[in-house]
């Protein structure tokens, strides 16, 4: 089975890309045991994450079937998900 990105749990809303991806690339994403197709909205370096659907600002980001933080801003399907739009919910130092 050939795929370009992987989400280990079916409940994940992000997938990890297994190769560097360019905007417009149509990716085969292994999500649990199935393959879905998704267009990358922007370039994503190998090993980084991409949104599997639209994610509202403040909504949890889920990887490994578990919350890894929340969206700082609204994130569109196919977008790169990293420290610019995802933040930890733990050990928070922020005033807001």
**Contact positions vs another protein (CB under 8 A):** 1-3, 6, 8, 16, 18, 30, 45-49, 63-64, 66-69, 81-83, 86-93
Among the listed residues 94, 86, 92, the one whose alpha carbon sits nearest the alpha carbon of residue 59: 86
First to last CA, the chain: 45
Task: Give the nearest distance from C-beta 2 to another protein in angstroms.
Answer: 8
Cα–Cα dist 47/45, whole Å: 6
Smallest gap, in angstroms, from Cβ of residue 93 to another protein?
5
Cross-strand bridge partners of residue 75: 55
């Amino acid at each position: 089975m050939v795929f370009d990105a992987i989400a280990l749990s079916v409940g994940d809303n992000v997938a990890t890309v297994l190769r560097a991806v360019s905007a417009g690339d149509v990716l085969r994403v292994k999500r649990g045991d199935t393959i879905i197709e998704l267009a990358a909205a922007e370039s994503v370096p190998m090993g980084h994450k991409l949104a599997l659907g639209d994610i509202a600002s403040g909504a949890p980001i889920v990887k490994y079937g578990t919350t890894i933080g929340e969206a700082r801003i609204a994130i569109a399907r196919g977008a790169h998900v990293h420290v610019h739009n995802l933040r930890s919910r733990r050990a928070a130092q922020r005033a807001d």
